[in-house]
Amino acid sequence: MLARTASNLYWISRYIERAETNARLLEVGARNALMPNIGGGYRNEWDSVLRASGTAQAFDRKYGEPVQRNVESHMFFDSDNASSVAACIERARENGRIVRTALTTQVWDALNTAFQEIREMQRTERSKLALSDLIDWTTRTTALIRGASLATQLRNDGFDFSNVGHYLERADSTARLLDVKYYVLLPQVGLVGSGLDNYQWSTLLRAMSAHRSFGWAYGGEVTPLKIADFLILNRQSPRSLMTAIEGVEQFLGQLARRYGKSSKPLSQSRSVLAELAETNVSEIFEEGLHEFLTRFIRDIAAIGASVHETYLSGEAR
Amino acid sequence: MDKAAPLQFFNEMFDSESVRPPYRGLEEWTRDMPAELRSLKQSEAESLFRRIGITFAVYGEGGDPDRLIPFDMFPRVFSADEWRRLERGIKQRARALNAFLVDVYGRGEIVRAGRIPARLVYQNEAYEKAVCGFLPPRGVYSHIVGIDIVRTGRDEFYVLEDNCRTPSGVSYMLENREIMMRMFPHLFQENRIAPVEGYPRALRRTLASVAPKKCTGEPKVVILTPGHFNSAYYEHSFLADMMGVELVEGQDLFVEGDFVWMRTTEGPKKVDVIYRRIDDAFLDPLCFKPDSMLGIPGLMNVYRSGGVTIASAPGAGVADDKAVYTFVPEMVRFYLGEEPLLNNVPTWQCGKRDDCAYVLEHLAELVVKEVHGSGGYGMLVGPKASKAEVELFADKIREKPENYIAQPTLALSTCPTFVAEGVAPRHVDLRPYCLVGESIELVPGGLTRVALTEGSLVVNSSQGGGVKDTWVVAD
């Protein structure tokens, strides 16, 4: 398939996944804004949301004080913020328009409708748009696009690239969410295990819509170890690093078989997977969660770079 | 046609109060459609178009790049008999235009015979010296000929202009039909309407039939687009999809050895036929515009050595130039030995002194066009223009007379059209798409453009025109 087309398909998935991550972050912020300010945790939950999205500096320059309305504008509506929901949907749709021929009607329909709707929302008076509705809209819309893709797209190499993008972005965003929560909220190891700690950790579960599934999978007390296990190593958890990297490996493997040629990103993802398979949460905490995550994020970025170089740049021989 | 006759408009549906036969199947349909249903259907059509993603960006107007071309639900209808006549005329013209192109890049017999001035051909901006002496596969330069036709009476059809390069709009022909079938299925059960959906397959067949001589096996066909910012991008991707071929940009192709290759995820793949939707000037920076970012360096060398076919062939534009247009009937006589079945509109060349004097004197009655312009830009519709506009245009003509041609203001036929107050006649034209390869094919239909403003004669979508589904009904 045309290298540029593969690249467009890959990025559609990444943008859609990114839009969803952003909406989930907003949900966490909104939820915490409703909580009483217990025991002076981090300065302000909205600030931590901005940090998790990696756009705190840009926000500061444009808006200043992180109050809900501004954070909403920044993370949902603002096209200047490249990772806002609106910008992600716009770019996913733009990529989709370029490769219209590689998408089924259902997928294009879902993408294009999302774009039309977000434009409509941008024109609507803000007081008429409740944050909870915006969040619901985003998770519903991204699920619809992803679902349409899974249900209707031809299982060809384009499908593989689309999934590689989806799982890489998911691995990256789970790792970043974990990292911000750990690093920003709990710089002191002494706090691990305290009540505040558990509360902040369970916020993390909410961010991943995994609060209930966690209960089903583990039961009992919510502890940082269990949560970390759930979000890093558990194969049942749809957003764990393990599940995401397995997805990456699966679809890169499929591409290699299809093209009859192994690839650099495939061996890279296999070694990350092997490492995850051999470790456990205690070991990760021993190394330091932040150190572990930093390394993981770097590995994911390296896989992304190899995917580009091997398949998407058009320099393949 | 009498050049000075007053305008009498032919109504395609009503012939002095009685409904003309091709439109009979629509009489009841319009009469019985309540206003609410009509506006419901209209907004349904609009949302279908939006969801499909058919949009049209208007050059130079800014604003919404995702604007829709207005779609009018009232179909434009031809009888099978009328169509047969048109078809013969269109195919004849397409053959003559291609024969002309082969000739002027070869021996130039028509010029030597004195049937067309050498200056008009060889000094034409669209004449590509780079392809002199090269004969494209099957002697076809223009593989898709879009011939703009207007009707002025029961049996009077005129060719307004020929488009030999890359006529656009065929996606509307196909999508308008899809949407009509979806919204009014019973109309298609009650009337025997010839299908147009075979077009993409016919186009692919045509392109595959002109594969270069070095091509072995199934020819690899691609569509070359300037990119997704181009106003016709939707059409490019739609056609690629319907034909099942790759849609490529210049950056996706490169030349190596004797061939053109496409960058794929598995490495280079050879390309045999390029249906390009970019202008000659942007094809190859080594041959044409050195600063073009759109082209493929070295493409023309591969082309000339028979490694790839470019459709339409570089240089095809010389045949659809507005100054050359006047000579198309002459081409039909010269190459085919036949009388032209379709008429030209009488045309004054401002480059000729007598013609120019007449044009300047009668500017307020005429339509004046730039020789190299397209899309309804830079034209003057005399009867609709203000005095100041007319004078301004007169200055432009005096400054560079050879740049302009003038034609009488044609009494374009009208077709019933849905307007705010109900149904009213609006002026229409027609663009059928003729395919030329191993054989010459024409799908029964085309794009009908309609001037939505009351009294307006300008149907270009860039000037606020709309589109209609075009039917050919069996007798």
CB A53 within 8 A of CB A81: no
Work out the pLDDT band at B272, boundaries 50, 70, 90: very high
Res. B268: pLDDT tops 90: yes
Distance of CA A2 to the CA centre of its chain: 27
Contact residues, chain B to chain A, C-beta under 8 Å: 50-51, 53, 228, 233-234, 237-238, 240-241, 246-249, 251-252, 262-268
Omega cis (within 30) before B312 = yes
| A308 in contact with B, Cβ within 8 Å | no
pLDDT tens digits along A38-92: 544 445 678 777 877 888 889 999 998 888 889 999 999 998 899 899 999 999 9
Question: B51, A113: Cβ pair inside 8 Å?
Answer: yes
What's the confidence (pLDDT) of residue A6?
96
Cα–Cα distance, B73 to B40 (Å, whole number): 12
Cα–Cα distance, A298 to A278 (Å, whole number): 19
Question: B247, A101: Cβ pair inside 8 Å?
Answer: yes
* List of residues 6+ apart from A297 with CB closer than 8 A: A172, A175, A176, A179
DSSP designation for B212? -
Mutate to test the interface with B, among A12, A100, A103 (most CBs of B within 10 A): A100
Question: B263, A315: Cβ pair inside 8 Å?
Answer: yes
Of A4, A99, A259, the CB nearest to B266: A259
How far is CA A261 from each of CA A51, A182, B249, rounded to the nearest angstrom? Answer: 40, 40, 27
SS3 B157: strand
- Residue B42: is it exposed, middle or buried by C-beta count within 10 angstroms (0-12/13-18/19+)? middle
pTM of this structure: 0.84
Closest chain B residue to A103, measured at CA: B241
B51 versus A1: the higher-pLDDT residue is A1
| A259 in contact with B, Cβ within 8 Å | yes
Res. B1: pLDDT tops 60: no
Closest chain B residue to A311, measured at CA: B265
Distance from CA of B265 to the nearest CA of A (A): 5
Question: A317, B249: Cβ pair inside 8 Å?
Answer: no
SS3 A223: coil
Closest chain B residue to A104, measured at CA: B241
Q: Position B274: which residue type?
A: I
Question: B246, A2: Cβ pair inside 8 Å?
Answer: yes
- Residue B418: is it exposed, middle or buried by C-beta count within 10 angstroms (0-12/13-18/19+)? buried
Work out the pLDDT band at B66, boundaries 50, 70, 90: low
In this structure, how many other beta carbons lie within 10 angstroms of the beta carbon of residue B243? 22
Maximum average pLDDT range among A299-313, B158-172, B375-389: A299-313
| A161 in contact with B, Cβ within 8 Å | yes
Cα–Cα distance, B196 to B243 (Å, whole number): 14
Res. B449: pLDDT tops 90: yes
Mutate to test the interface with A, among B265, B266, B270, B274 (most CBs of A within 10 A): B265
CB B190 within 8 A of CB B441: no
Across the A/B interface, how many CB contacts are shorter than 8 Å? 65
- What is the pLDDT of chain A when averaged over all its residues? 87
Question: A4, B265: Cβ pair inside 8 Å?
Answer: no
Mean pLDDT of A6-33: 90
Cα–Cα distance, B410 to B150 (Å, whole number): 8
First CA to last CA distance, chain B:
29
Question: A2, B263: Cβ pair inside 8 Å?
Answer: yes
Chain A residue numbers with beta carbons less than 8 Å from the beta carbon of B67 are none
* List of residues 6+ apart from A155 with CB closer than 8 A: none
Question: B265, A316: Cβ pair inside 8 Å?
Answer: yes
Strand bridging mode B366-370 / B404-408:
antiparallel
Closest CA to A116 of A86, A161, A136: A86
Closest chain A residue to B268, measured at CA: A317
Question: A108, B53: Cβ pair inside 8 Å?
Answer: yes
| A316 in contact with B, Cβ within 8 Å | yes
Helices (H), chain A: 3-33, 45-53, 56-62, 68-72, 85-98, 105-123, 131-152, 157-180, 195-207, 211-218, 224-228, 241-259, 264-278, 281-287, 289-307
Question: B263, A3: Cβ pair inside 8 Å?
Answer: yes
Cα–Cα distance, A10 to B454 (Å, whole number): 49
pLDDT tens digits along A141-170: 999 999 999 999 999 999 999 999 999 999
* List of residues 6+ apart from B138 with CB closer than 8 A: B209, B210, B437, B438
| A38 in contact with B, Cβ within 8 Å | no
Among the listed ranges A128-132, A161-165, A271-275, which one has the minimum average pLDDT value?
Answer: A128-132
**B405's tokens:** 């041609």
CB B409 within 8 A of CB B367: yes
Cα–Cα distance, A69 to A71 (Å, whole number): 6
Mean pLDDT of A135-140: 94
What's the confidence (pLDDT) of residue B414?
94
Q: Position A57: which residue type?
A: Q
Q: Which helix (H) or strand (E) holds B219?
A: none
pLDDT tens digits along B175-209: 999 999 999 999 999 999 999 999 999 999 999 99
Helices (H), B184-227: 185-190, 199-208
| Residue B224 β-bridge partners | B248, B276
| A309 in contact with B, Cβ within 8 Å | no
Question: A97, B237: Cβ pair inside 8 Å?
Answer: yes
Question: B228, A97: Cβ pair inside 8 Å?
Answer: yes
Of B53, B234, B252, the CB nearest to A2: B252
Question: A312, B228: Cβ pair inside 8 Å?
Answer: no
SS3 B376: coil
| A101 in contact with B, Cβ within 8 Å | yes
Mean pLDDT of B47-66: 59
What's the confidence (pLDDT) of residue A250?
98
What's the confidence (pLDDT) of residue A205?
78
CB A108 within 8 A of CB A96: yes
Work out the pLDDT band at B62, boundaries 50, 70, 90: very low
Q: Which helix (H) or strand (E) holds B364?
A: none
Cα–Cα distance, A73 to A79 (Å, whole number): 9
Closest chain B residue to A109, measured at CA: B51
Of A100, A116, A316, the CB nearest to B267: A316
Cα–Cα distance, B314 to B323 (Å, whole number): 19
CB B187 within 8 A of CB B342: no
How many helices (H) and strands (E) chain B has is answered by 14, 23
* List of residues 6+ apart from B257 with CB closer than 8 A: none
CB A197 within 8 A of CB A289: no
Chain B residue numbers with beta carbons less than 8 Å from the beta carbon of A255 are 265
Res. B318: pLDDT tops 80: yes
Chain A residue numbers with beta carbons less than 8 Å from the beta carbon of B240 are 101
Residue with tokens 């009503």: B14
Q: What percent of chain A has pLDDT over 70?
A: 90
pLDDT tens digits along B391-400: 988 999 999 8
Res. A32: pLDDT tops 80: no
Residue with tokens 């307020």: B364
Closest chain B residue to A308, measured at CA: B265
SS3 B429: strand
Mean pLDDT of B303-325: 94
What's the confidence (pLDDT) of residue A184?
46
**B253's tokens:** 């192709």
B44 versus A243: the higher-pLDDT residue is A243
Question: A161, B265: Cβ pair inside 8 Å?
Answer: yes
Of A109, A157, A314, the CB nearest to B252: A314
Residue with tokens 């062939």: B313
Among the listed ranges A170-179, B59-68, B81-90, which one has the minimum average pLDDT value?
Answer: B59-68
What's the confidence (pLDDT) of residue A185?
44
Question: A101, B233: Cβ pair inside 8 Å?
Answer: no
Cα–Cα distance, B64 to B55 (Å, whole number): 10
Chain A residue numbers with beta carbons less than 8 Å from the beta carbon of B234 are 100
Res. A311: pLDDT tops 90: yes
Of A1, A109, A315, the CB nearest to B51: A109
In this structure, how many other beta carbons lie within 10 angstroms of the beta carbon of residue B182? 11
Among the listed ranges A172-181, A182-191, B422-431, which one has the minimum average pLDDT value?
Answer: A182-191
> What torsion do the CA atoms of B137, B140, B141, B146 make, to the nearest 10 degrees?
-140
